[in-house]
Structure 1
Amino acid sequence: MEIRKEEKSTIIQGSLGLLAMLGVVYLSTAIDTPVISASARLAMYLLAGLMYGAVAFAVFAQGWMLFTDKLSRQRLYSAVLFFIVGTLDVLHIATFVGVSLFGFMPGYTVSAWFMLLSHLLGALGMLFIFSVPDKQVSMRHKAAAFSGASVLLLVGIVLLYKYQFQLPQLLGNQAPGTTKQAVWIVVPFLYTLGIFAILYRYRKERPPAALTVVCALLFMMIGHILLTAAEPFDIGIAHVAGEWFTAISYYYVLKGVYRLTIEEPFRGQQLAEAQMMHMAYHDDLTNLPNLRRLKERLAGHLVPEGRTGLYTGVAVLNINRFKAINDAFGYRAGDKLLTDLGARVSRRCLPEEGVYRMGEDEFAVTIPEYSDPRAIEIRALQLLKSIHPAVTIENTEYHISLSMGLSIYPLDGQNVEQIIQNADMAVHNGKEQGLEFVRYTAAIKNQTQSRIELENDMRKGLEREEFFLEFQPQVSLDSGRVVGMEALVRWNHPRRGVLSPGEFIPVAEDSGLIVPLGEWVLRTACSYNKKWQDDGYTPICVSVNLSMRQFRQHNLADKVDCILQEVGLEAKYLELEVTESMTFDIDTAFEQLQRLKRLGVHISIDDFGTGYSSLYYLKTLPIDRLKIDRSFVKEVMLDGSGAAIVSTIAMMAHHLQLKVTAEGVENEEQLEFLKLQNCHEGQGYLFSKPVPAGLFERRFLTRIAG
């Protein structure tokens, strides 16, 4: 185990103290004629006594007057103890030099008793104080402790005064069992117990303050041994050294108690405050400065005084398809990607630039104080190109792409909030357009405002029932009969007319409105299907797309079941379409799909082949159908690769006993090719585009009935 610096220092100090004690004992016994005169030794003795008396009362004052609102049990009891010990030490010195205090008889006997009682109480007190757990105490506790100590000290002094003439009988030196020898043995034992108690209590992490108290106890023990070992009781080298060891030990007590009960808690509080400040201004995951720190730092660069003609840029970086990575590999992989990217951007930045995490998958870089705004654009592009796109996830290397939006002060905004907001708008605008880098313009702000207005209109549209469904037939390629239908949502906007899903579904997904919209689509599609069955039409299955947000709902199966029960539609006439990206987390997807299958609904994989395909999940997940994406169907007569993909998917589905539906069938050549591949069903403009419910009923359901 590695020994820390403080522990080494304690060991060295303790060793030097023990060596000094042995040296003093040797000198006091080996040298017959003292080198230092008796008067000099007496002066040194008295000086040491006065010093440790003063330090003892300093310990008392520390507990009585300093930081009384944060008084701890250890500090309080130490103050009480040294109030008693200091008083006894003063009486010891006074009676030793012939001063009569409170009527005590001056001389060796009474002085020795005061000294022995001081040492005994000191040893017992230190053992008790540092053996019990420490905690905060109240002012009432403080008053009670000092009142009790004063009464105890007064009683003790009165008893000593009353029996002072009988004390010499208890200090005889002729027998090993005398009181003095007993105290000489017991006190070092108590000090040793105190040392072990402290070391055991702080065995996991030994703070410097605790080690200081250990030194204090060791020096108190050495001082006691030197003061009480030699006979007769004269002012020899051992006694002088004992007094000085006691003075040093009291200083260590003062220092140790202060550090243990005041300094270290204060430093701990400072450390906690610093950690809280760090947490307030830094991101937990990447440890980069956060948006709050970005605003503060950026404010310093945007101060106009003395910086006329200088420009500062804010570039916002966004990871493309970050949600898909999270869905595919889990949040741990996403966290690793964010941490890794933050480190890469930091390494590529210049010293005057700063990197910040704005939230989720966005980072910001400040590019301060250029004289030419074009230079900021060049630097931002240089930074974007320098970031290595490869990332390793689960031992496999993938390439990520980034988008960057840039705004420049004061051209693109007049304050911190505007500059950051405009850079963020620019990056999102670039992602929507598939661009890698976009500089903010006023047109971007207009587009963003339009998007916000569309989101607000969508909330109102759900309340006002502005949405409606269209249905596209699904046709059996063998019989040519309509065997199913897909429900597709449309929006009759009050000002902009009928909007296709591509215009409002991305807004719904970003805002979370996709969940209530998806539930409305599901309920409405089931209601139409049930109505048509009640009207006597041949029952067919209706397909409804699930969004990612819907699929992640833990109570999705309960909601679907509730809608089916509410509408009265049998579960076998409902098919739920999920995308491959929803099945990346195989365990979660399996549990969710199992809950849905237990209801009796059908499950299909929509746009199959465009995402992360795995034979493992195909044979594991409880699915009924694969829907071949229209992009492959479109190319079957133009590209051999497209034809091979469609053929492979169809063959694989047959082996797995899954049905196959081809989307986007637009001409007879495609239809004939799909028939050769034994596709079960087709869907596309060759049969019909999506049509309103009434037209679907008249054009297709009546034909089935006929």
Structure 2
Amino acid sequence: MMWKFNEDFSFVKQSIQFILLSMILLIVIGLGSDKFYGIFGENNYVTIHLMMEMLITVVTMSISIQAWLITPYILSNRVLYTGALFLTISLLEMAHALSYKGMPFFIIESTPYASTWFYMLSRSLLSIGFLIIFFIREKELKSNYRWFIYSLPFVIIIGCFVVIYAPTPILPPIMIEGEGPTILKNTLQYIAVAMHLFIMVLLLKNFEKAPKTAFLLFGSAIYLIMSDYLFTIYRDVYDIKNFIGHIFQLSAFYLLFRAIYFSSIEKPFQQLVDTQEHLEKSREKMHYMAYHNEITNLPNERFLMESLKRDLYISKSQKAILAIGIERISAIKASLGSTYADQMINLIAQRLKNVLPEEYLLCLLREDYFVVFIDEVNNTDQLTKLSQQLQFVMEESFQIQHFSLNSQLNIGIALFPTDSNREEELVRFALYAMHEAHKIPTRIRFYESSISSGTTERLLLENDLHDALVNQELFLEYQPQLDLQSGQIRSVEALVRWQHPKKGWISPGVFIPIAEESGLIIPIGQWVLETACKQVKGWEAAGLPPIKVAVNLSLGQLFQQNLVEMIHNVLEKTQLDPQYLQLEITESMTINIDHMTTILHQLKVLGVTIAVDDFGTGYSSLSYLKDFPIDCLKIDRSFVQKIQSDSTDKALVDMILSMAKHLRLKVVAEGIEEIDQLSYLVASKCDTVQGFLFSKPIPPNILQENYQMLHKDAKSILDSITAFEV
């Protein structure tokens, strides 16, 4: 681009120089024509004229040769015809120079008659030829066709010689010695001028297609018109107007040469250069993209591995790989979309770069975790402090559009050569430690050999979980909830289960966290919701009384952009009355109050009820109870199980029941396994209970078949409490 700018500037500079020269020549004509008349003298002017004609001949012949040489490659009829035209003009200009007055004997004694007619034929042919070429449609020609076209100029010049040097003059004289040009010559000159004026109009109309070429041709036409004008007003060959007319004519041919050279050689060459530069930039860009992440512009895994192969073994000093996992990033990507996740990753990358020294290599692998290569480690405390600094800068929330998002870093560390002396294994061990880091409070874990087996098993489970939905390995069980006021089972909680084809039953405590981290919780959550709603309608069709089903929502689902729309579609698809669907959230989800308030109010508009699960175990402010449209609190089983033995837990349960009563919220107590627990909750006016005392989670068909039996057993248990109290 800089070269093109310099070329354009040079072209403008030359154009200004031509204009200034033209103005000087016109000033000479206008103010000092008589003073400079015959300035070169009779004897010298012939030599000067010959030199001018030789230059014109060289320029026109150059145009012809140039067209001849490029025709086999361009195969353009216009270029070929232009070359033949200028070959004809070149031959006529040579004949004009040789027959000029004062030149040695050429066929006959030199006279103004022959010389002037050769010039006039050349000038007329130039205008006529340009007009014809301008209107000819561009098309390709066979390369051998140029021999025929280039032979025509010789036929034309022979014809001109025959006419001009006929024994009896055929053409009238157009130049009278001592008087100047005749009316015929001036008429022919003005016709040529008119044709060139028409050419100029055509050039202006097509200026945008090829501005530089059009500009050169336009300038050439102006100079030709100026020379035509001067050739109509000079008195004799020694007049300064005649000399300056030749200068304008030479300048016109030079600009023609520049125009043809630019359009046929320079411009294609520049396009080739631009194409090569573009290709080179594309290659550089492709190379950069192959070794860098497009979101953060950080080096990627390929860059990291090549760097490790090059730098890891240079010295035997201790080195380290830090694998940095971003908590919740998969859930954010699955729920809010890639745009939010990408913006958050980019912001995290900026914070990491601000903390890490420049000599440390920071890479982004697979768009969900970072890797840092430290090529010199003094001690492990250095790595621990660095990891703590990285975690500290993540404490401030990330403001992405209208969301305020938080994330923590899980950091795994592998040492060279202590843990491994191979680059791929070193990175893998750091990743193993990273996956285990979330299990400890510091979330910083150095690799140990015992980590490998557990991490491998977890990764295998994650891979199998991708196929669990498709292969129908997931299923739901339902735990009945007993209404203590009526003694009826009016609601159930849907619980997802996984029966692995090879490993058997997988605990939800194992695969649910994997689903949340991998983003699979979104499709799994939708399947659970739709399956539970269908089941409630199935029980209704089987004759059971209306039953409300409680379904847990994950954090990832709550940030799912189309969550409300998805739930609305499920309710419509299953034809379930919204009042029979309860959605359960946990206290840990209430951190982002603004977002949660909006979502929960939108869900309430659908007609569903909202419950807070595991109430009392979270760390958020209780102020959300007045901000959120909550219908129910579920007391965590950890409080209920120690209600008789631990006074603190008993006080907490009493406080929750009292607070719920004042806030007009329903209360469900989970984990009821003993009569004493139930007796205390009945006495405390708890609304609903669930637990193994009444029923463990059971398949839907078992619940349907034993619905009356479950009520009978529940009544028996409640009656025993009443009898005991009496």
Could you tell me the TM-score, scaled by structure 2's length?
Answer: 0.70
In the alignment, which of 256, 267, 278 is matched to residue 271 of structure 1? Answer: 278
User: Given the alignment of the two structures, is residue 25 of structure 1 paired with residue 1 of structure 2, yes or no?
Assistant: no
Supply the distance in 2 between the matched residues of 1:211 and 1:354 (Cα, whole angstroms): 50
How far is the alpha carbon of 1:465 from its aligned partner? 7.7
Q: Which moved more, 1:661-670 or 1:500-509?
A: 661-670
User: Given the alignment of the two structures, is residue 446 of structure 1 paired with residue 463 of structure 2, yes or no?
Assistant: no
Counterparts in 2 of 1:5 and 1:35: CA distance versus 1, 3 Å: same
Supply the distance in 1 between the matched residues of 2:307 and 2:211 (Cα, whole angstroms): 43
How far is the alpha carbon of 1:8 from its aligned partner? 5.6
Residue aligning to 1:13? 14
CA contact (8 A) 1:538 1:704 kept: no
CA contact (8 A) 2:223 2:248 kept: yes
* Structure 2 counterparts to residues 645-684 of structure 1, below 5 A: 649=625, 659-665=631-637, 666-667=639-640, 669=650, 673-676=655-658, 677-678=660-661, 679-684=665-670
Residue aligning to 1:624? 608
User: Given the alignment of the two structures, is residue 484 of structure 1 paired with residue 456 of structure 2, yes or no?
Assistant: no
* 1:172-196 deviation per Cα after TM superposition (whole angstroms, max 9, x unaligned): 6326871222212432552464255
Residue aligning to 2:719? none
* 1:606-640 deviation per Cα after TM superposition (whole angstroms, max 9, x unaligned): 124432344444333214222222142x58xxx9x
User: Given the alignment of the two structures, is residue 607 of structure 1 paired with residue 593 of structure 2, yes or no?
Assistant: no
CA contact (8 A) 2:478 2:698 kept: yes
Residue aligning to 1:593? 567
CA contact (8 A) 1:406 1:439 kept: yes
Counterparts in 2 of 1:541 and 1:328: CA distance versus 1, 3 Å: closer
Residue aligning to 2:435? 428
Counterparts in 2 of 1:464 and 1:115: CA distance versus 1, 3 Å: closer
Counterparts in 2 of 1:684 and 1:52: CA distance versus 1, 3 Å: same
Supply the distance in 1 between the matched residues of 2:425 and 2:173 (Cα, whole angstroms): 92
* Structure 2 counterparts to residues 100-179 of structure 1, below 5 A: 107-118=115-126, 120-122=128-130, 125=133, 141=141, 143=143, 146=146, 150=150, 160=160, 173-174=182-183, 178-179=187-188
Supply the distance in 1 between the matched residues of 2:53 and 2:194 (Cα, whole angstroms): 25
How far is the alpha carbon of 1:510 from its aligned partner? 5.3
Counterparts in 2 of 1:497 and 1:277: CA distance versus 1, 3 Å: same
Percent identity of equivalent pairs: 20
User: Given the alignment of the two structures, is residue 688 of structure 1 paired with residue 695 of structure 2, yes or no?
Assistant: no
How far is the alpha carbon of 1:215 from its aligned partner? 4.8
Task: In structure 1, give the amino acid aligned to 2:713.
Answer: R
Counterparts in 2 of 1:352 and 1:243: CA distance versus 1, 3 Å: farther
Supply the distance in 2 between the matched residues of 1:419 and 1:39 (Cα, whole angstroms): 91
Task: In structure 2, give the amino acid aligned to 1:607.
Answer: I
Match of 2:206, SS state, is helix
How far is the alpha carbon of 1:237 from its aligned partner? 4.0
Please provide the CA RMSD for this pair.
4.8
Match of 1:220, SS state, is helix
Counterparts in 2 of 1:21 and 1:463: CA distance versus 1, 3 Å: closer
Task: In structure 2, give the amino acid aligned to 1:618.
Answer: L
* 1:308-364 deviation per Cα after TM superposition (whole angstroms, max 9, x unaligned): 436665544443223455577665444433333444445555555554443334344
Aligned residues between the structures: 628
How far is the alpha carbon of 1:239 from its aligned partner? 0.8
Counterparts in 2 of 1:8 and 1:89: CA distance versus 1, 3 Å: same
Q: Which moved more, 1:388-397 or 1:17-26?
A: 388-397
* 1:669-689 deviation per Cα after TM superposition (whole angstroms, max 9, x unaligned): 466555542443514112414
Counterparts in 2 of 1:312 and 1:19: CA distance versus 1, 3 Å: farther
* 1:369-401 deviation per Cα after TM superposition (whole angstroms, max 9, x unaligned): 438686984796487368575433337876543
CA contact (8 A) 2:298 2:362 kept: yes
Residue aligning to 2:230? 230
Supply the distance in 2 between the matched residues of 1:35 and 1:378 (Cα, whole angstroms): 95
Match of 2:250, SS state, is helix
Supply the distance in 1 between the matched residues of 2:98 and 2:403 (Cα, whole angstroms): 90
Task: In structure 2, give the amino acid aligned to 1:626.
Answer: I
CA contact (8 A) 2:334 2:522 kept: no
How far is the alpha carbon of 1:59 from its aligned partner? 3.7
Task: In structure 2, give the amino acid aligned to 1:194.
Answer: L
Task: In structure 1, give the amino acid aligned to 2:584.
Answer: D
Task: In structure 2, give the amino acid aligned to 1:34.
Answer: I
How far is the alpha carbon of 1:485 from its aligned partner? 1.6
Match of 1:114, SS state, is helix
CA contact (8 A) 1:314 1:407 kept: yes
Residue aligning to 2:687? none
Supply the distance in 2 between the matched residues of 1:437 and 1:541 (Cα, whole angstroms): 43
How far is the alpha carbon of 1:501 from its aligned partner? 0.4
Residue aligning to 1:85? 85
User: Given the alignment of the two structures, is residue 253 of structure 1 paired with residue 260 of structure 2, yes or no?
Assistant: yes
Task: In structure 2, give the amino acid aligned to 1:503.
Answer: V
Residue aligning to 2:217? 217
Residue aligning to 1:206? none
Match of 1:700, SS state, is helix
Residue aligning to 1:556? none
How far is the alpha carbon of 1:437 from its aligned partner? 3.9
In the alignment, which of 710, 715, 723 is matched to residue 700 of structure 1? Answer: 710
CA contact (8 A) 1:475 1:483 kept: yes
How far is the alpha carbon of 1:128 from its aligned partner? 6.2
CA contact (8 A) 1:88 1:118 kept: no
CA contact (8 A) 1:55 1:254 kept: no
Match of 1:261, SS state, is helix
* Structure 2 counterparts to residues 319-358 of structure 1, below 5 A: 319-325=326-332, 331-346=338-353, 352-358=359-365
How far is the alpha carbon of 1:537 from its aligned partner? 6.2
Supply the distance in 2 between the matched residues of 1:123 and 1:270 (Cα, whole angstroms): 37
Q: Which moved more, 1:141-150 or 1:217-226?
A: 141-150
Supply the distance in 2 between the matched residues of 1:22 and 1:76 (Cα, whole angstroms): 37
Counterparts in 2 of 1:412 and 1:144: CA distance versus 1, 3 Å: farther
Supply the distance in 2 between the matched residues of 1:498 and 1:5 (Cα, whole angstroms): 75
How far is the alpha carbon of 1:591 from its aligned partner? 2.1
Match of 1:478, SS state, is coil
Task: In structure 2, give the amino acid aligned to 1:118.
Answer: L
How far is the alpha carbon of 1:691 from its aligned partner? 1.9
Q: Tell me, which stretches of 5 or more residues in structure 1 are unaligned? A: 202-209, 546-576
Supply the distance in 2 between the matched residues of 1:493 and 1:212 (Cα, whole angstroms): 74
* Structure 2 counterparts to residues 69-84 of structure 1, below 5 A: 71=74, 76=76, 79-84=79-84
Which of these two proteins has the greater Rg computed from alpha carbons? 2
* 1:559-599 deviation per Cα after TM superposition (whole angstroms, max 9, x unaligned): xxxxxxxxxxxxxxxxxx4346534466x233222223332
Q: Which moved more, 1:588-597 or 1:221-230?
A: 221-230
Residue aligning to 1:564? none
Supply the distance in 2 between the matched residues of 1:63 and 1:247 (Cα, whole angstroms): 19
Counterparts in 2 of 1:95 and 1:525: CA distance versus 1, 3 Å: same
How far is the alpha carbon of 1:31 from its aligned partner? 1.5
Match of 1:594, SS state, is helix
Counterparts in 2 of 1:426 and 1:249: CA distance versus 1, 3 Å: farther
Residue aligning to 2:390? 384
Supply the distance in 2 between the matched residues of 1:378 and 1:79 (Cα, whole angstroms): 75
Counterparts in 2 of 1:492 and 1:290: CA distance versus 1, 3 Å: closer
Could you tell me the TM-score, scaled by structure 1's length?
Answer: 0.72
Supply the distance in 2 between the matched residues of 1:473 and 1:531 (Cα, whole angstroms): 16
Residue aligning to 1:503? 510
User: Given the alignment of the two structures, is residue 64 of structure 1 paired with residue 71 of structure 2, yes or no?
Assistant: yes
Q: Tell me, which stretches of 5 or more residues in structure 2 are unaligned? A: 100-105, 108-112, 176-180, 644-649, 673-689, 717-726
Match of 1:89, SS state, is helix
Counterparts in 2 of 1:531 and 1:225: CA distance versus 1, 3 Å: closer
User: Given the alignment of the two structures, is residue 34 of structure 1 paired with residue 35 of structure 2, yes or no?
Assistant: no
Q: Which moved more, 1:448-457 or 1:369-378?
A: 369-378
* 1:226-266 deviation per Cα after TM superposition (whole angstroms, max 9, x unaligned): 54333358472441453245235413531354343332254
CA contact (8 A) 2:479 2:492 kept: yes
Counterparts in 2 of 1:143 and 1:19: CA distance versus 1, 3 Å: same
Residue aligning to 1:194? 203
